[in-house]
Structures are given as C-alpha cells and as structure tokens.
Structure 1
Amino acid sequence: MVIPAFHVTFVNMRPSHTTFKRTVTAFASVVMFSLPLSAHAESDGTSALDRLRQAPTPEAAARVVREIQLEWSRSGSASMDLLLTRGRDALERGDLTEAVEHLTALTDHAPDFAEGWHTRAMVFFQQKRFGLAAADLERTLALNPDHFGAIRGIGAIYETLGDGAMAYAAYKLAETYNPLDKEIVEGLKRTAASAVGVDL
C-alpha cells in the first residue's frame, strides 16, 4: 500500500512549536491509518518482521532486529553503503556536522534508500532539529512503511515536545512490530498516563 503524499513546510527550516506540532500531527494521522495494512505484504522482510513479533525473549528479538537492519542497510551500491557507514560512524563519535554532510550526500544521490533518511533523522534529533527529523522520518516511512525504528522516532519526537498522548500512540504502533524493544516498553510506561481516555 502506498502512503498518501504529505509535504512538510518550514519557515527558515526552523518551525515554530505550534507549526511543528500541526505538521507532525498531520503526518502521524497518515502513518497511523496507513501502516498496519502494509504488514500484510508478502516479502522476505515481512517474514523477518513476523519472527520479530513472535520472538520469545529480548535477546532473540535483538538478533532479528540486527538481521532486519542489515538488510535495510544495503542500498545496492557500494559507494552509497560507504556514505551510510561514514555517517553512522560520525554519529557514533558525536560529530553531528560531519554525519549530516555524509548522510545528506547519501540522500541526494540515493533518494529512494530509506535508511539514509532514517539515519539522518537520528542525527537531526540529536541536534534538536525536530522539524527536519520529522521530515526525514516521513520520507523513511514513505519508502519503507514497516520501519519500526522510524515509528519509534515519531514517538520520541512527540514525547520531547510534551505530547504524551500522541507519543503513546506512536510507541503503541511501534510495539506491534517489536513488542520486546526496551525503549518502546519504557516509552509506553512514561506516556501511559497521558493516554488515559484517548482513543487509539
């Protein structure tokens, strides 16, 4: 299933809190209503996702996650894979400026490679550039609707903005993919009180 197109607009690339919340709310409503249907597609990725959902222990789930992430990290181009590796290495050592440079080169040259957008969203989140992170997560999910890391990222953005109810909804959706993920479980605990009375 194709997620409906959604275009994010910013003022000077630094959206106001109100503008950003409106942007992410519209985006989330697209994601929340579109993603569950994608899980029924027949593919090798879905088979791995089924194993992830049914993993008996967190350790078993982590092994499947690594398998899925390895598959998602293959762009089909050695040079693009190198840019992803350099971007991730820069992120790991805390050089966020360099990470953005490598990952922007990657998204420019391989715009259909979801993992490039997701990894850059992680960097933007670290930089507290939440509007740009949301835009990259949108692109990630348009290319890979089953990207549970991107869904969890939406939850993290909402939680950071103080919207516990929407954060809980995003974490709850991420949980349908990876119910034993510690970050998702802890996110649900932190935001559960905000979700009382909210129709999910």
Structure 2
Amino acid sequence: MLAMRVFVPLILACSALLAASTGAGTLAFAAEAAPQTEAASLTSPKQRLDGLFSDLKKERDADKAREVANQIQMEWQDSGSATVNLLMQWADKSITDDKQAAALDILDQVITLAPSYVEGWNRRATLHYTMGNYRKSMSDINHVLSLEPRHFGALAGMASILGAAGKDELALRAWEQFLAIYPADRKAQERLGELTEKLAGSKT
C-alpha cells in the first residue's frame, strides 16, 4: 500500500486487527545458491504458507526475510483457478494503463467468482486506496484479514490508513501485529518506533 494522504473517519477501524535437475554437481550448487527453508519440502498451499510464515517469523536478516515474504506473496497470488488468475492479470494491466474503473470492475468479478481468494480482496483494497476510497479500502482490508490474519501487506495498509487518520494508538497496534508476523521489516520497525515516541511524548 502507498503512503496515505487524507482519510475519512472509519467505522470498522479495528475489527480485523485481529511463492529438476539431476547430477550431484547441479544439486549441490542449487543447495548453496538457494538454501532450503522449512517450507521447501511441503506440498499443499496451506502447508507451504505455514512453513514460510514460520521461516519469516524466525528470520532476522532483512534481505533474507524479504525473499521469504516474496515467496509468500507468490503463494497468495495463485488463486488455483486459471480464469481468476487471468482476470487478475487483466486487472493489473488496467491499473498499469491507468484504467482504474475498468480494473475495479474486473476485481469485483474476481471477488464474485472467488470470494475466499485473499489476493482478490487485497488487490481491490489497494486499488480503492490509490483511488482515494479509504473507507472502502479499509472494508476490504478487514475482509482480507478475516480470511488471512497473517496478511502483512493488509496490516501495513491498515496501519497507514489509521496513522493518516490520526488514530496513532490503533496504528501502533497494527504495526505491532505486522512485526509479530514479519519481525525483520525495517520500515515497519521505523514506523513503530516513531509512533511509540510520538505517543510517549503526548503523555508527558
């Protein structure tokens, strides 16, 4: 989610605060180039995500953590439906071409076809955000988090919206939740530190 500008007071601000070779030489090189994570040997989407989130929570190196986060985002992007995946590509193309209304219509179709597809809701939340529809963005963020409470992207969006609305304590809570899932993210660490200092100063 992008940096916030102006925000209308929220109704549901805190309701959801709550990604074969053979031969010994090739395999050895692959192991060195891409260290195995706990998620590597798991097969179902849920197992892979659970393993990746476990890796993300334990990783303290920011660059390595970002690689794990990118793998998680790749897992989220695959809806399991060729039709929905194609619609998401069309939505992305419309956004790139600055055809926001068309992208919104496509994302509405995605959500109708696959209401449990987390990334459909998240992409629409992001689009509403960039269009200035902050109340609608927060509503979609709440839905994302009801489906996937570990969605750190949605939590970052929520924190940004709440912070811009002057709801610093709620924004701080959202960043705390984000960092409980993704501890190595430096920007989130900075934002949490800034809010902590700001709130401490306001109480003195």
Question: How much has 1:23 moved relative to structure 2?
Answer: 2.2
TM-score (norm: length of structure 2): 0.74
- Are the counterparts in 2 of residues 55 and 61 from structure 1 also a CA contact under 8 Å? yes
Q: Does residue 1:24 correspond to 2:28, yes or no?
A: no
Q: Does residue 1:91 correspond to 2:95, yes or no?
A: yes
Q: Identity of paired residues, percent? A: 24
Whole-Å Cα distance in 1 between the matches of residues 153 and 179 of structure 2? 10
**1:154 corresponds to which of 154, 158, 170:** 158
Question: How much has 1:92 moved relative to structure 2?
Answer: 4.3
Whole-Å Cα distance in 2 between the matches of residues 91 and 186 of structure 1? 30
Which has the higher relative contact order, 1 or 2, with Cα contacts under 8 A spaced 6 or more apart?
Answer: 2
- Are the counterparts in 2 of residues 120 and 136 from structure 1 also a CA contact under 8 Å? yes
Q: Does residue 1:143 correspond to 2:151, yes or no?
A: no
* Residues paired across the two proteins, number: 169
- Are the counterparts in 2 of residues 168 and 195 from structure 1 also a CA contact under 8 Å? no
Gaps of 5+ in 2: 1-6, 19-45
**1:123 corresponds to which of 117, 121, 127:** 127
* 2:34 aligned residue: none
- Are the counterparts in 1 of residues 107 and 120 from structure 2 also a CA contact under 8 Å? yes
* 1:67 aligned residue: 71
Question: How much has 1:136 moved relative to structure 2?
Answer: 0.6
* 1:81 aligned residue: 85
Whole-Å Cα distance in 1 between the matches of residues 114 and 163 of structure 2? 30
Q: Does residue 1:47 correspond to 2:51, yes or no?
A: yes
* Partner deviation per Cα, 1:135-174 (whole Å, 9 max, x = no partner): 1111111111221111111101101212122111101110
* Partner deviation per Cα, 1:59-108 (whole Å, 9 max, x = no partner): 11111111111111111111101112222343345432232122111111
Query: SS where residue 13 of structure 2 aligns?
Result: helix
Gaps of 5+ in 1: 1-15, 33-41
C-alpha root-mean-square deviation of aligned residues, in Å?
2.3
**1:177 corresponds to which of 170, 178, 181:** 181
- Are the counterparts in 1 of residues 110 and 120 from structure 2 also a CA contact under 8 Å? yes
Whole-Å Cα distance in 2 between the matches of residues 93 and 159 of structure 1? 30
* Partner deviation per Cα, 1:121-140 (whole Å, 9 max, x = no partner): 01111112111011111111
Question: How much has 1:56 moved relative to structure 2?
Answer: 3.5
Whole-Å Cα distance in 1 between the matches of residues 100 and 117 of structure 2? 20
* 2:35 aligned residue: none
Amino acid at match of 1:50: S
Amino acid at match of 1:24: A
